[in-house]
Amino acid sequence: MPVMASLSAKLTSLCSLPLPLCLHPWKTYSGPFRSQSTPNHPERLGFQKSTPPLHTCNFPGVFCSPSLESSLPNNNLMDQIPPQMVDCRKLEILNLGNNKFSGEVPSKLSSLIRLRVLDISSNKLSGNLSFLKHFPNLENLCIADNLFTGKIPASIRSFRNLRFLNFSGNQFLEGSVPSMKRLEYSSSDVPKRYILAENSSTNSTRSNNKTSAQPPSTAKSAEAPSPTTQPHKHKKDKRKKILGWILGFLAGAFAGSISGFIFSLLFKLMLAVVRGAGKDTGPAIFSPLIKKDDLAFLEKEDGLASLELIGSGGCGQVYKAELPGGNGKMIAIKKIIQPPKDAAELTEEDSKSMNKKMRQIRSEINTVGQIRHRNLLPLLAHVSRPDCHYLVYEFMKNGSLQDILNAVAEGTKELDWLTRHRIVVGVAAGLEYLHMSHSPRIIHRDLKPANILLDDDMEARIADFGLAKAMPDAQTHITTSNVAGTVGYIAPEYHQTLKFTDKCDIYSFGVILGVLVMGKLPSDDFFQNRNEIGMVKWMRTVMTSENPQQAIDQKLMGNGFEEQMLLVLKLAYFCTLDNPKSGPIVRM
């Protein structure tokens, strides 16, 4: 296999072993969908370009994976929703809104009892609502703007966690929506209420009975009258022309004279917004799984007083909280402090610190605030206060990979190879999405065990996008004024040239592969007492020796996966080559 081969080929080579590293953990299904458009990346729609990998489901053209989310809105997908969807039992979020699906919804859809969000709005779906039988965990239901007929089923009352409901735009539905506590409606026969909707790539707004990105206005809208047009006069009026020239000249001079004042005013307004001195507009919500009322406690001065502190770092502290409502959903709140001073009182150090924190907040909002992937930690909301900012995330019960590795080193926890392998696959899938499927590409720049969180199933979630940068497709690299990242995980070429590419993330990924197989961090004292200073150099030396197995963590020896672990170390070797052009790319 040539050195330039993609990481995909290397990952696929592991499929002959008893563990499905080639499985696409980020895809939920691929199947009989047709699209009127021809996207640049068919993988983003869930299509397979080749034969499905191992461990497929038992129906043609479709396979299931541990994915919790399938979001395919705004893709012009046609035909019926495939009934094989019901085999994806772990699915929690299904968003097929704003496509061109037609026909009836599979009646067995209610077998997806883990669903929390179901959005099939703005299609051409028909038939009755018999598929709304039993969704015990459903929180957000939107079937607006379809052609459904029949009565609204009373079974909706059994959806005990339902908080958002939109039946609007189905003119053939009969009856009223069953009354339920804590439910917000939007339909043709009940008052409209503000309903949170996940941001789409088009950022469009819906009108009439549809949900809107803004709360409905209480004032009646009125069309603006068309401007009246004066009849054209063929007779020239020299006096009026001269008067028009004079007025135009005076208007231009006046505009120029006040431009400096306007610029100064805008600058002051921007500074006030950055410092949080402007009027509080409330939380910015980025997920349908949370609403503004849930975060009302953060508006109080002592909002975090009773919460458990679970971590702290250079940017601030992280707290754990339970959302109101009694459903037991936990969130993590990162508090980022900013100096409550006027610009004149800010020292140079304070100013640099504030600018850095604001850049990191913007980076988080522009990345995981806008995109969704099962292996990225989503930003749920942002709350701005005069003295601080709150970033709200899903809570990851198992903490970070760094925490787990520290506990393993202390002997208080175990981390078997199957779990380490699952973490590797998750990180690779998240990077593939950032580098290959998202446009523009997103470079994380600080990939390390502390920024890889683990959910209840020990699935990896890449977190902390404060240093992330978007790289336009036309660019080959971005030059910075200083190096960002963590020592031991920074690519040498970035450190030397201040130019970073997606290969810098690949280098960091290679170091993480080595850490998981060898059971040692780059900062481990073990590497300070060797001729080859540094984990990467030591790993290269051992991998080219006659006994490469000595690099494997002794806790993992004898588990029957030695050959597979050596293959992963070879991947780590390729990812950390001195010449990044010879390294692989992440493609699952």
Question: Which residues are part of the catalytic machinery?
Answer: 446
User: Given 3-state DSSP classes, what are the helix, strand and coil percentages for the chain, each rounded to the nearest 5?
Assistant: 30, 15, 50
Q: Name the token pair of 367.
A: 């990345």
Q: Answer whether 310's CB lies under 8 Å from 320's CB.
A: yes
CA-to-CA separations, 518 to 39, 409, 505, 549, 553, in angstroms, rounded: 41, 12, 20, 10, 4
Cα 35 to Cα 451: distance, rounded to the nearest angstrom: 37
Placement of tokens 């910075």 in the chain: 480
Q: Name the token pair of 150.
A: 């029949």
Task: Please compute, for residue 545, the number of CA atoms within 13 A of its CA located in the half-sphere on the CB side.
Answer: 11
DSSP three-state, residue 208 = coil
Q: Answer whether 41's CB lies under 8 Å from 436's CB.
A: yes
Task: Please compute, for residue 404, the number of CA atoms within 13 A of its CA located in the half-sphere on the CB side.
Answer: 24
Q: Answer whether 495's CB lies under 8 Å from 557's CB.
A: no
Q: Answer whether 419's CB lies under 8 Å from 477's CB.
A: no
Q: Answer whether 68's CB lies under 8 Å from 92's CB.
A: yes
Residues 6+ apart with CB under 8 A from 308: 319, 320
Q: Name the token pair of 318.
A: 């992280």
Q: What angle do CA 451, 456, 459 make, to 5 degrees?
A: 50
Cα 161 to Cα 135: distance, rounded to the nearest angstrom: 9
Q: Answer whether 568's CB lies under 8 Å from 581's CB.
A: no
Helical (H) or strand (E) element with 7 = helix 7-12
Number of Cβ atoms within 10 Å of the Cβ of 212 = 16
DSSP 295: G
Residues 6+ apart with CB under 8 A from 191: 185
Cα 67 to Cα 268: distance, rounded to the nearest angstrom: 46
Q: Name the token pair of 400.
A: 């970070």
Chain mean position to CA 396: 15
